[in-house]
Structure 1
């Protein structure tokens, strides 16, 4: 069976990393899986980029820019510029040899100038079985990636809070209408990494009638695993050996959805108790915001190397994950696989990843006080070695490559 994974990104962003890992897991399991992306980040077997020439890469960048420009006249706030995708711009891959030769097409995250709604329609028109792993809500909304509590997708999108001029027939309404036509008789099976997202999908007017399976994003536990000597790992990273280390980061820590303001508030509450603690931060950050934190900060910046990211998890004592809305963050699974407990809000799919008081702490949503309680508990827990062992064991049993690849093989065979 020939399986083609299709993703906007190769090895960046949560969805791109998840698509790449699934492709790798399936190949290790003996399946003929390929990953098709607009352009590759590095040479990798079974991964193909549409644009590998200088001109092709410039064209891909132009499509991304044009896609964002199509939303510019509608955006309510520049902070929401990447939270809504009209999907007007894209390329036609329906005639690509890998698409033509595939028995199953497996879509992942395909926005930002890769596949438009028209491009998706051409893929569905081929008549091949299509699996679509949802990494956010976009497939069943009028354009937003996360609805921030708006439930218009359950009936018909309109009055969109992301738009400058919301109305009964605004941009979200029109995109919703286009998707209604797109999904008519589409040969679709949805996959969601979390039960939370599956429940939202089933409640949606656009896609609630399609079959959906809950299958997690896999992780390679031969690479992501606890360190034999965490202090030695700290030394390689230049981190202090005499401090407890908290970890926070994301692709963009300034994204309001990632909840950095609750980290600031929780640390301020614990200021007197954290004299022996420091914060390690990775990702795109605001230096001014870091300077106002109530404890020393080690800013690692953006980390492109997976091996370095593994060492960061191994070197720290707990990961902070106060997302206000999230599906199945890779960051949590990566941290747990390395034996590092996680403190996060009880939102989205996060409660399906963290076992409360076993592998971390689930705080009440938007409660800095409960987040502080979780930090205190994790750092003071007398049996932290056992907690680290439980965290790594959970991932090994449930989410490692071998387990998840078999689940997807069964799904593909059933189609």
Structure 2
């Protein structure tokens, strides 16, 4: 079979990373697969660009600027809502023409408009659409923040400057509804059980066949490293208890850093003078690490997977106070490196964390319970057992071979 994965880029975020990992997993399992992108950032030979750089930049601006000028409520939602009104027709590209199966992933930021998606659906080829967030079944938001208007036809959107019944979210929802009428052979894949259940309850995708298949991970790259050696390499205290936090954008509302700050202050009250160091990585423009009660080592943006594996291995616990997430790559990466994770019991996170076995599932938005979870993992008498269980969870569920087989079975079933 010949499969083309379609994603806006091949690096630079959670969805590109997951899509690239799937590409490699499928190749390892004998699938003839190509990845079609708007922006190529890696040297992977099986990745092909379908759009020129000037056109890509123009499409990005044509989508963003009208939203910012007329629809955006405030800067906090600037990239949290995508109207998908501008994009490129990629029908004539060889990667599309030659494919037996088209496999959509994340196509926003001016890559494919709703019209362009409809063009692909009208080709008559089987289409698989892996959901990396909620966008496919909402009126434009990537995560709804508890809003359930997508169950019907959206409208009165809290992200918009002037929410009303027939606002932009309702119009986008209607355009997607019209688009989906062309989809005769469309299968939805959710990376987590949570997102699959939400999609099944939506007005747009509720009637579509939906299966849950997780993202894969390379368990050779993401594996436990010598803790003392990597701490020395990265300038991390070899004698302290290490708490790790990372995010693509630390200031993103969804990543819940306000709860992390509160939890760490509570933890400090409970642990007194115990030697604890905080390690943080990711894009950080505004967060003042001086507000944290522990000594902080800030590592900025880490791109290389080998470096990430070392940093996870250096920690005693990884903390993910995310408020809305599908199947977070960072949690899976940490577990694969044998580092247990404390996180809120939300979204797809319970697919990864088994409470008090390989991590701690804290009560949603409870900084006190998150602090209790960090403390439990940080000072556990069974650190070795937690580490083994963390790694084992990934080996049993998320390896390249296991995930690739699920997709190959799906491909065969729809051809």
TM-score, normalised with respect to structure 1: 0.97
1:352 to partner: Cα distance: 1.2
Structure 1: tracts of 5 or more residues without a match: none
Q: Distance in 2 between matches of 1:130 and 1:386?
A: 42
1:186-201 residue pairs with structure 2 within 5 A?
186=183, 187-201=185-199
Asked if 1 retains the 8 angstrom alpha-carbon contact of 2:251 and 2:287, the reply is: no
Instruction: State the alpha-carbon separation in 1 of the partners of residues 148 and 286 from structure 2.
Output: 36
Deviating above 6 A after TM superposition, structure 1's stretches of 4 or more consecutive aligned residues are none
SS of residue matched to 1:301: coil
Higher alpha-carbon deviation: 157-166 or 280-289: 280-289
Match of 1:242 among 234, 239, 243: 239
Deviation at 1:373? 0.4
Alignment correspondent of 2:36 = 36
CA distance in 1, matches of 2:129, 2:192: 14
1:109-138 CA-to-partner distances (Å, cap 9, x unmatched) read: 000000000100110010000000000000
Offset from partner CA, 1:254-304 (integer Å, 9 cap, x none): 011100001100111122416311111111124652111111111100112
Q: Which consecutive residues of structure 2, in runs of 5 or more, have no partner in the other structure?
A: none
- Report the Cα offset of residue 41 of structure 1: 0.9
Instruction: Give distance in 1, aligned partners of 2:75 and 2:343.
Output: 27
Task: Give 1:79's aligned residue.
Answer: 76
Native 8 Å contact 2:8 2:16 kept in 1: yes
What is the distance in 2 between the residues matched to 1:274 and 1:9? 46
Aligned length: 410
Counterpart of 1:260 in structure 2 is 257
Aligned to 2:310: 311
The match for 2:136 is: 139
Change (3 A) 1:404 1:288: closer
Is the Cα–Cα contact under 8 Å of residues 321 and 342 in structure 1 kept in the other structure?
Answer: yes
Whether 1:215 aligns to 2:213 is yes
Cα shift at 1:239: 1.1
Superposition pairs of residues 15-164 of structure 1, within 5 angstroms: 15-51=15-51, 56-72=52-68, 73-164=70-161
The residue number in structure 1 matching 2:411 is: 412
**Rounded Cα–Cα distance in structure 2 between residues aligned with 1:292 and 1:161:** 30
Q: Using the TM superposition, give the Cα deviation of residue 380 of structure 1 relative to its aligned residue in structure 2, in angstroms.
A: 1.1
> Structure 1 residue 291 and structure 2 residue 287: aligned?
no
Match in the other structure for 2:6 = 6
- Alignment RMSD: 1.1
Match of 1:354 in 2: 353
SS of the aligned residue for 2:277 comes to strand
2:326 paired residue number? 327
3-state SS, counterpart of residue 347 of structure 1: coil
The offset of 1:149, in angstroms, is 0.7
8 Å contact from structure 2 (residues 336, 391) kept in 1? yes
DSSP-derived class of the 2:107 partner: coil
